[in-house]
Amino acid sequence: MNYSGNRNAIGSLFNNFFSGGAAAAGGGGALQNAQMAQSAASDQNQADTTYAQINSEVKKSFAQRNQIEEETRTKVTEMFRESTLNRTKAVSKISDSWVQTIQQA
């Protein structure tokens, strides 16, 4: 059995397909080029869409992080204010009790 003829035919088809020989075989190269350009444009559109989605998520995350930081600052400030007020009240009560103790003596 001699397969060399089949191998040569397959090799020829392979070379025509990957080396642009399809243009010589009836103008298929232009179609192939158009398909490749369309595929490249589709890939670019997909990449642009993915970039836009990622960019949107980054902005959303940044806004959420800023909101959390602002809420945390507000809570810390309120806690500090409340703590200071409670200390002031405690000192005032102690001072009042000392004054009463001194006045009774």
Please give the average per-residue pLDDT across 76-105, as a whole number. Answer: 92
Please give the average per-residue pLDDT across 3-14, as a whole number. Answer: 55
Contact indicator for 29, 35 with CB cutoff of 8 Å:
no
First to last CA, the chain: 129
Q: What is the mean pLDDT of the chain?
A: 83
Burial category of 76 from C-beta neighbours within 10 Å (exposed 0-12, middle 13-18, buried 19 and up): exposed
Residue % of the chain over a pLDDT of 70: 72
**Strand locations in the chain (E):** none
pLDDT tier for residue 25 given thresholds of 50, 70 and 90: very low
Contact indicator for 29, 22 with CB cutoff of 8 Å:
yes
Please give the average per-residue pLDDT across 40-62, as a whole number. Answer: 95
pLDDT tier for residue 44 given thresholds of 50, 70 and 90: very high
